[in-house]
Amino acid sequence: MSIAEWLAKKAHIDIEPDKLDIPGDLQTKCLACGEVLFRKMLIENQKVCPHCNYHFRLTCSERLAFTTDADTFKEFNQNLESTNFLKFKDTQPYSQRIEQAQKRSGIKDAIITGIAEINGHKNVISIMDFGFMGGSMGSVVGEKFSLAVETAIKKKLPLISMSNSGGARMQEGIISLMQMAKTSAAIKQLADAGLFYISVLLDPTTGGTTASFAMLGDVHLSEPNALIGFAGKRVIEQTIRQKLPKYFQRAEFVQQHGMIDKIVHRHELKLTLGRLLEYAE
């Protein structure tokens, strides 16, 4: 094998978390470098690998804890839940998928919204959770996001959106597509009210979520190496019949093409948000 071949092969190894050997509850392995890490220390380090700087994905409660001032968050519309209005069923009914995701995550759908303070700056915040059905956007995500924007307008507060989503929720058919329009329209109203909107695009943010409210921020932030794009990598590879480089659709790549203002290390994210919010006061 030539060096070039070896590099090409190396560049396309995708790490599958399921296949990693995780020894018990106390320890875990870094998904990027494979180093064994103590869970407690990992959480203390905001789930960033101390060896290779890999940013683990967060649940929305972790994100909330790392980003907002303690005990300032007041949640909106906590109990909204989706229904299986199309009676959609793939290998299992949609209603069952929702139930399982709710049990696993402890939240009702892929987004939480509310009012919070970040380093003393009051704002309306929306946080998505990729762990809930791939953070997919259906009726509840669209509705809660729109209601949050409406509250921001009413209370004249800036908005922070932390998106983390694979795109539209197929199980809700066309209604999921309509959420793109609904959320984008909400952002237009926010802009017309003269309010500041910071969009943080987290790993991953793709499909209909990127092609709507996530790409409409006044300022776009991201974390290192976050996957941000419209079409899925596999779909593009099938279309152009070529393998894509590993850096494709990563935050650094997206920034080079003008779509991200700043890539921020997780340890700096709260501080950065606070500094930005100061300019809207």
Partner 1 sequence: MKEIIKKKRKKKNIMDFEKPLYELAYKIDELREGAKLHNIDLSKDIEKMENQVQELREQIYEHLKPHQIVKISRHIDRPTALDYIDLIFTDFIELHGDRLNSDDPSIIGGFAKIDSQKVMIIGHQKGRDLKGRKRRNNGMAQPGGYRKAGRLMKLAEKLSLPIITLVDTPGAYPGVEAEENGQAEAIARNLYEMSAITVPIITVITGEGGSGGALGLAFSNDVLMMRYSVYSTISPEGCAAILWDDPSQAPIAAKRLKITAEDLKKLDVIEDIIPEPLGGAHNDKVVTAQSMKRYLLKHLHKYQDMAPSAVAKNRYDRFRKFGSQNIKGL
Q: Which residues here bind partner 1, judged by CB under 8 A? A: 77, 79-83, 85-86, 88-91, 138-140, 142-143, 146, 168, 170-182, 184-185, 187-189, 191-192, 207-208, 210-216, 229-232, 235-236, 239-240, 244, 248-249, 257-259
95, with CB counted inside 10 A (0-12, 13-18, 19+), is middle
Provide the minimum distance between the beta carbon of 178 and partner 1 in the complex, in angstroms, as a whole number: 4
DSSP secondary structure code for residue 48 in this structure: B
- DSSP states of 218-243 as a string? SEEEE-TT-BB-SS-HHHHHHHHTSP
Provide the minimum distance between the beta carbon of 41 and partner 1 in the complex, in angstroms, as a whole number: 36
With respect to partner 1, which residue has the nearer C-beta, 35 or 252? 252
Query: Residue 128: helix, strand or coil by DSSP?
Result: strand
With respect to partner 1, which residue has the nearer C-beta, 18 or 90? 90
Alpha-carbon gap, residue 98 to 84, rounded angstroms: 9
Residue 97's nearest CA partner among 125, 138, 56, 61 is 138
Provide the minimum distance between the beta carbon of 250 and partner 1 in the complex, in angstroms, as a whole number: 11
With respect to partner 1, which residue has the nearer C-beta, 156 or 257? 257
Provide the minimum distance between the beta carbon of 36 and partner 1 in the complex, in angstroms, as a whole number: 32
Provide the minimum distance between the beta carbon of 238 and partner 1 in the complex, in angstroms, as a whole number: 8
Q: Work out the angle between the directed axes of helices 266-278 and 60-67 (0-180°, nearest 10).
A: 60
With respect to partner 1, which residue has the nearer C-beta, 30 or 202? 202
With respect to partner 1, which residue has the nearer C-beta, 87 or 156? 87
With respect to partner 1, which residue has the nearer C-beta, 28 or 212? 212
Residue 196's nearest CA partner among 78, 281, 136 is 281
Query: 259: number of CA atoms within 13 Å, CB side?
Result: 20
Provide the minimum distance between the beta carbon of 34 and partner 1 in the complex, in angstroms, as a whole number: 28
